[in-house]
């Protein structure tokens, strides 16, 4: 297989991307207080062509964060509120019968659903039944949908940013592990610090309405996504990423103590995402090749939803985050 070629023009593109990211973060900060790590991870996911799942209790501005990011990009944005009665066709679209006024002939016409946008906010994805979840997840994987035997390709770039509430389990439909694997990152939002909460209260209880500038359009995003694929990676960085993933697999050697805590580990997709995320982090910071630290920064968001603790681990109160920290030596 031929290695991607990093050319002279790509150096300028990396520098330009790094400059744009600083502008994007500056605009987001007009609305969102704190959450710097989550914002960084979301941007890595977007420029990696990945999808992200945001998990957090109500009131932590998950929806506002995604909406704010969409406003900084010159892209079409749609929000889908997931409910127990939502049908797959409510997401993908539906066919209606139309009658020609002149000939009286009837024909089917496809009405596109909200999935036909560049950024999709799938709000509270665990509130809808598996059949409807699957319709969204298929679109995420294939970047197309099928209706009435016809394939419809979704416009690029295409991102799905889903939110999930971890505390209300009654009447919800948790995503199966195989479907969770479609998300590049699983991001957990924590409560703000005391100082951050003061800023939040001040900014949201007054009449200040910030105006956000559009920084990057769809054509530029696709150009930057292609650029990141060409970023070269040293063999030792790839090997480190694979070794971290391998240690999450119970039957592949490694730490005996950790093996006892894991039922199922991460597949090759995790190794791909760790490497891709490292390349993207480097490019967003204006560097031309990633290092091992870039991989380490993505271990939690990439592996958190791919490592399934064993019964013994759960009985001892050990979750996937604790296991990942043991593997990485954190």
Instruction: Give the integer Cα–Cα distance in Å for 52 and 55.
Output: 10
Alpha helices, DSSP H only, in the chain?
8-28, 36-47, 62-72, 88-92, 130-142, 177-180, 194-204, 218-230, 235-246, 256-259, 268-284, 292-296, 299-303, 311-315, 320-328
Residue 209, sorted as left (phi over 0), alpha (psi -120 to 50) or beta, turns out to be beta
Q: Which CATH superfamily is domain 1-86+113-230 in?
A: P-loop containing nucleotide triphosphate hydrolases (3.40.50.300)
Q: What contacts 17, CB < 8 A, 6 or more positions away? A: 47, 224, 227, 283, 284, 286
Judged against a pLDDT cut of 60, whether residue 4 lies above it is answered with no
- Per DSSP, the three-state class of 40 is helix
> Domains of the chain: which residue ranges?
1-86+113-230, 234-330
Task: List the Cα angle 171/174/179 in 5-degree steps.
Answer: 150
In the predicted model, what is the mean pLDDT of the chain?
83
Instruction: Quick: pLDDT tens for 277-309.
Output: 999 999 999 898 899 999 999 999 999 888 888
Instruction: Quick: pLDDT tens for 65-98.
Output: 888 888 888 888 888 888 888 888 888 888 787 7
Judged against a pLDDT cut of 60, whether residue 3 lies above it is answered with no
| Mean pLDDT to the nearest integer, 169-183 | 75
DSSP state letter for 18: H
| Mean pLDDT to the nearest integer, 100-123 | 81
Distances, alpha carbon 70 to alpha carbons 76, 159, 179, 225, in Å: 8, 10, 24, 17
pLDDT band of residue 5 (cuts 50, 70, 90) is low
Q: Are strands 150-153 and 144-147 parallel, antiparallel or unpaired?
A: antiparallel
pLDDT band of residue 312 (cuts 50, 70, 90) is confident
Give pLDDT, residue 141: 83
Question: How many Cα atoms are found within 13 Å in the side-chain-facing hemisphere of 122?
Answer: 32
| Mean pLDDT to the nearest integer, 124-130 | 84
pTM comes to: 0.85
How many secondary structure helices (H) and strands (E) does the chain include?
15, 13
Give the architecture-level CATH label for domain 234-330: Orthogonal Bundle (1.10)
Between 253 and 56, whose confidence is greater?
56
pLDDT band of residue 170 (cuts 50, 70, 90) is low
Judged against a pLDDT cut of 50, whether residue 1 lies above it is answered with no
Instruction: Give the integer Cα–Cα distance in Å for 133 and 127.
Output: 9
Instruction: Quick: pLDDT tens for 6-52.
Output: 566 878 888 888 889 999 888 888 887 777 888 899 999 999 999 99
């Amino acid at each position: 297989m031929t290695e991607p070629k990093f050319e002279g023009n790509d150096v300028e593109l990396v520098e330009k991307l790094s400059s744009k990211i600083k502008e994007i973060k500056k605009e987001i900060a007009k609305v969102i207080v704190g959450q710097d790590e989550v914002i960084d991870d979301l941007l890595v996911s977007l420029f990696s062509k990945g999808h992200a799942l945001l998990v957090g209790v109500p009131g932590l501005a998950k929806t506002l964060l995604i909406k704010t990011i969409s406003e900084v990009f010159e892209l079409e944005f749609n929000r889908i509120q997931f409910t127990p009665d939502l049908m797959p066709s409510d997401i993908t679209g539906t066919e209606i019968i139309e009658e020609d006024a002149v000939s009286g002939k009837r024909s089917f016409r496809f009405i596109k659903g909200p999935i036909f946008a560049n950024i999709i906010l799938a709000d509270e994805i665990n509130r809808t039944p598996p059949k409807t979840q699957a319709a969204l997840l298929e679109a995420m994987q294939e970047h197309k949908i099928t209706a009435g035997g016809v394939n419809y390709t979704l416009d690029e770039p295409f991102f799905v940013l889903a939110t999930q509430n971890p505390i209300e389990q009654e009447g919800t439909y948790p995503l199966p592990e195989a479907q969770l694997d479609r998300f590049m990152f699983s991001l957990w939002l924590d409560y703000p610090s005391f100082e951050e909460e003061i800023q939040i209260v001040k900014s949201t209880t007054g009449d200040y309405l910030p105006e956000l500038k559009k920084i990057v359009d769809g054509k530029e995003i696709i150009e930057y996504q292609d650029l990141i694929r060409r970023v070269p990676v040293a063999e030792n960085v790839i090997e480190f990423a694979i070794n971290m993933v391998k240690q999450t697999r119970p039957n592949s050697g490694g730490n005996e103590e950790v093996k006892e805590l894991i039922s199922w580990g991460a597949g090759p997709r995790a190794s791909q995402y760790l490497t891709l995320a490292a390349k993207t982090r480097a490019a967003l910071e204006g560097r031309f090749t990633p290092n091992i630290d870039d991989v380490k920064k993505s271990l939690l968001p990439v592996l958190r939803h791919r490592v399934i603790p064993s019964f013994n681990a759960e009985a001892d109160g050990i979750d996937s985050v604790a296991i990942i920290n043991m593997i990485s030596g954190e």
